[in-house]
Chains A and B, each alone.
Chain A
Amino acid sequence: MIRVYCHGYGVRTPLGNNAGELLQCILEGRTALKLHTGVFGCPVPFVASLFEDRASAPGLSFFESIAVEAAKDALAGTDSASVALVLASIKGNVEKIGGEDVSLAASARRIADALGMEIPPLVVSNACISGLAGLVQGFRMLRSGRYSKVLVLGAEVQSKFIVTGFQSLKALSMEQCKPFDAARDGLNLGEAAAAILLSTEEGPWEIVSGAVRNDANHISGPSRTGEGSWKALCQVLEGINPEDLAFINVHGTSTVYNDEMEAIAIDRAGLADVPVNALKGVFGHTMGAAGVLESILSMLSADRGVVLPTRGFSTLGVSRPVKVSASASKTDKKAFIKLLSGFGGVNGALLFRKGGER
């Protein structure tokens, strides 16, 4: 059986470009979320985590530029020609729609070329679980034996297209979001790029298993029974005793329905005693980047023996007794689950374990 490990990583976020410093920001309770008025030509103000410096590299869009920068950090010292690229994004260059080719296929080609990657790239565009689904895809490509290294690169930038769309669905909060809190009333959007280099060579963290399941219930609302998320959780739990989990890093968008659904799925899976944390209160919902970015921060925090706090959470506001971490706590456990859900009824779970722990 081929095993898959996480090696290099890179991040670009409005709070910083160094994952270690970003972790420090989270521990200090900082956030990049603030009210934006008149940005992107949006008629209604919104709270989001946005880059201030929006300079692009020559020949690349801003979206592609931050993706390339995060990827370079993850690839440092690796011969990129033989690395396969899996790009995870929902909307890519959509801000330019109507004129040029805004396809994710064209963006992936430009990103691969800028990085000197010679294998034709693949894009995963599986709604809000894209980053996690990209890691599942990279994991499988390595397990197939056809590749030795895969770079999974999640990236998303915001635009009038996305912001007005979420506003039309009444999904955005006008305040900083409050995952799992009784007063939560919507999500905040965010921008980020994050990359993990996966390899079959032994490394610091192993991806043990991943699963994607559909609710088969509704295209824009989560299942009331947490069906798909529960099924994905049950699948990855076959690889671990729940007592060995340091935490579950959940989606935690801070919408009423998402957080309730995740609480139901976690409770149904028998994980109500495992600490739960969510990072959307720090840098918002970074869409296609979320699965990669939040996995990187989860690995780094577990390395330091820390369960990260859930910024914005104070009073439990879901129907199941899940153990949401309001403040940072210590852990000596060496495994965690990353959980995400998205439009289209799609849900995903990934199990990470410290290398050499089995």
Chain B
Amino acid sequence: MKHAVIPSGASLPELYRSLAGDYPKFFKMDTLSKLGFLLAETLCKDEPGRFTPREDRAIIVCSREGCLANDLHYAASMEDFPSPAFFVYTLPNIVTGEIAIRNKWGGETSAFVMEEFDRERLSELAREAFQDKCTRSLFLAWIDCPSDTEWVAKAWLIDKEEIENQILD
């Protein structure tokens, strides 16, 4: 089980340049998607066969606030000129789509909202995701991002066998 964290307030453009650098669409993303993208880069950038399309890796992103930071941007724009660029990020699962597109992971993607970070509940969600017999690997993240400057962002890369009888590290 691999684990990654992005400290609150870290410079995301700097992290992008050190981890990826070849994906300018990054700069169009909302903060939630940037954090998900960078967590996946951290965990997978040296993986053999990177970018070979695969269906056996699922993506789950959990949070309390969903995409609140971006929702506030859209709500501000809507009074003058509603911005489609903000609106497309007003769904908590867009981050899962961004990670799927970048990495060519065509498996299951899900976004969940819950009241607080709960290691046991997240472990349970992971085991439930592995009930899909196609799913052998899981990118699971907790990204709570109520503003563009403060967040909790952590992720795990989990093989099916690693979560059967234990909880997340």
Contact = CB atoms under 8 A, between A and B. Distances in A.
Contacts of B53: 216
Interface in A106-147: 106, 108-109, 120-127, 133, 137, 140-141, 143-144, 146
Contacts of B82: 164-165, 167-168
B27 interface: no
Interface in B67-125: 68, 71-72, 74-75, 78, 82-84, 87-88, 90-94, 96-98, 100-101, 103-115, 118, 121, 124
B96 A120 contact: no
B3 interface: no
A214 B112 contact: no
Given A220-B88, A227-B106, A344 B112 contact: no
A109 B84 CA distance: 31
Contact of B90 (A91, A123, A124, A345): A91
A329 B162 CA distance: 50
B44 to A, nearest CB: 14
Chain B's interface size range is 35 or more
Interface residues of A, number: 54
Nearest to B76: A98
Contact of B105 (A120, A127, A214, A231): A214
A215 B101 CA distance: 8
Nearest to A146: B124
Contact of A345 (B109, B113, B132): B109
A103 B114 CA distance: 9
B34 to A, nearest CB: 13
Contact of B111 (A124, A143, A165): A124
A164 B79 CA distance: 10
A164 to B, nearest CB: 4
A123 B112 contact: yes
A168 B110 contact: no
Interface in A187-218: 211-218
Contact of A214 (B78, B96, B118, B127): B96
B93 A346 contact: yes
A169 to B, nearest CB: 5
A161 B75 contact: yes
A144 B131 contact: yes
A344 B132 contact: no
A220 B28 CA distance: 13
B78 A124 contact: no
B31 to A, nearest CB: 15
A41 to B, nearest CB: 10
A30 interface: no
Given A161-B74, A219-B94, A219-B101, A214 B108 contact: yes
A214 B97 contact: yes
A217 B101 contact: yes
Contacts of A105: 64-65, 113-115
B55 interface: yes
Nearest to A144: B128
Given A103-B64, A169-B84, A125 B92 contact: yes
B134 interface: yes
A169 B86 CA distance: 11
Contacts of B105: 214, 216
A343 interface: yes
Given A160-B78, A169-B88, A212-B108, A144 B97 contact: no
21 contacts: A98-B72, A103-B113, A122-B112, A124-B111, A125-B91, A125-B112, A137-B110, A146-B124, A164-B82, A165-B78, A211-B134, A213-B55, A213-B106, A214-B96, A216-B53, A219-B98, A228-B106, A231-B55, A235-B134, A343-B97, A346-B93
Given A122-B112, A214-B96, A344-B94, 20 more contacts: A90-B91, A103-B65, A103-B68, A122-B114, A122-B121, A124-B110, A140-B131, A144-B128, A161-B90, A166-B87, A168-B84, A169-B84, A169-B87, A212-B132, A214-B106, A219-B94, A343-B91, A343-B94, A344-B111, A346-B97
Name the 8 nearest CB pairs between A and B, nearest first.
Answer: A344-B97, A165-B87, A123-B113, A140-B128, A168-B82, A164-B82, A214-B100, A216-B100
Interface of B: 53, 55, 59, 64-66, 68, 71-72, 74-75, 78, 82-84, 87-88, 90-94, 96-98, 100-101, 103-115, 118, 121, 124, 127-129, 131-132, 134
Interface of A: 90-91, 94, 97-98, 102-106, 108-109, 120-127, 133, 137, 140-141, 143-144, 146, 160-161, 164-169, 211-220, 227-228, 231, 235, 342-346
